[in-house]
Amino acid sequence: MYITLKDVSKSYAADNNSTLVLNNITTKFDKGTISLILGPSGSGKSTLLNVIGGLDTIDKGIIQVEGMDISSLPAKELVTYRRNKIGFIFQLYNLVPDLTVRENILVCKHLTKSSLDVDELLDILEMTPHARKFPHQLSGGQQQRCAVARALVKNPSVLLCDEPTGALDYKSSKELLVLLESINRKYKTTAIIVTHNEALKGMAHHIIKLKDGAIRQDYANETLTPAIELEW
């Protein structure tokens, strides 16, 4: 298995109260697949993504990525882990406002030695005509595509997407999903997508449903539907 989680629990303390956000999560993600984490707000899906990406720590359990236990890594090595293996896409694009599209992508190119060609990425993402534009000159969908390119340029083996279509309209959302699908196919990137949109299930190889921090469903999708055909 590429990513393995075993008995992972995590709770947050606030105002003397402890809230369990991940409750004994045990699951695995295969290499080169698209996984979908579904669930209502507060179910722990973003936290699950964050602990896999090394942005957050866990209270107990083990998270292994390519055989490496990242739950016991010190902060400095977690940075290296994120640098070498992880690409993040968030609901908010967080592009640098005074860098052009091309520059926003270039900013992350140096982070790994096996980085991808920026022009090729721009081409794949259909962003070449916008390469010299600044974020404020782009639509939301274009900005998110730029954020995808920024995450992809370092050629990560895992792409973690937290509500990537949350701020997009239907058309842009669909275009982005098609893009993620084609990237997964082309680069064999393991993609984990957090969403509350059940309609995306069709495009994923693997689906996890969370509720109150615990896995309610965890199954493989045998009949894939191309992203272009998804409707909601």
Partner 1 sequence: MVGDCMILTRRIPRELAKNKIRSLSILILIVIGFGITFGGIIGNDSIIHTVEKYQVESNAEDGEFTTLSPLDDEVLSMLEDHGVNAEKAFYTDITLNSDSTLRVFRNRNSINTMIVDEGNAPIQNNDIAIEKHYAADNSIKIGQTIEVGGHEYTVNGLGSVPDYNLVIANPADLAADPETFGIAFVNEDMFTTLLEAGDTAFVFNYTYVNDGSLSDAEVKEILAEEAALGLFLQKDANNRMTEYASELTVTNNATLVFGVVFCILMAYVLVVFVQNDIEKESGIIGTFYSLGYTRPELVRHYIYLPVLLVIAATIIGILVGIAIGVPLLTADSIAYYSLPALELCYAPAYLAYGLIVPPLTTIIVCIISVTRKLSATPLALLRKKPSSTSRNKITELPVKDAIGILRFRQFTKEIRGNLIMIFGLLVSIFLLVMSTSLWGSLVHYVEISDSTVPYDYQYSVSTPPISVPKGATEAIVKKLSVYSSQADQYYDVIVLGLPADNPYYPLNNLSADSQVYVSDSLIAKLGITSASKFDLTDTLTGRQYQIEAVGEYEAPTGLYAFMDINNLRELLDFEEGYYNTLLSNDSLALDASYVLSTTTTDDIKKAAENMLENRGMMIGILMIGAVIIFIVVIYLLLKAMIDRSTYNISLLKILGYNKRELSKIYLGTSFYSVLISTAVAILFGRFMMNYLFPYFTAHLSVSIQVYIYPYMYALIIAIIFASYLIINTLLKRLLKRVSLVEILKDMD
Contacting positions for partner 1 (CB under 8 A): 50, 53, 55-56, 79-80, 82-84, 86-88, 90, 92-96, 98-99, 103, 106-112, 135, 140, 143, 147, 150-151, 154, 167
Nearer to partner 1, 5 or 153 (CB): 153
Angstrom distance (rounded) from CA 161 to CA 158? 10
Angstrom distance (rounded) from CA 155 to CA 174? 23
State in angstroms the smallest separation of the CB of 219 from partner 1. Answer: 29
* Element housing 208 (H / E): strand 206-211
**Paired tokens of 75:** 């902060």
Contact 213, 42 (CB under 8 A): no
Nearer to partner 1, 55 or 131 (CB): 55
Beta-strand pair 34-38/68-69: unpaired
Q: What angle do CA 95, 130, 177 make, to 5 degrees?
A: 70
State in angstroms the smallest separation of the CB of 217 from partner 1. Answer: 26
Nearer to partner 1, 30 or 167 (CB): 167
State in angstroms the smallest separation of the CB of 231 from partner 1. Answer: 26
Nearer to partner 1, 32 or 140 (CB): 140
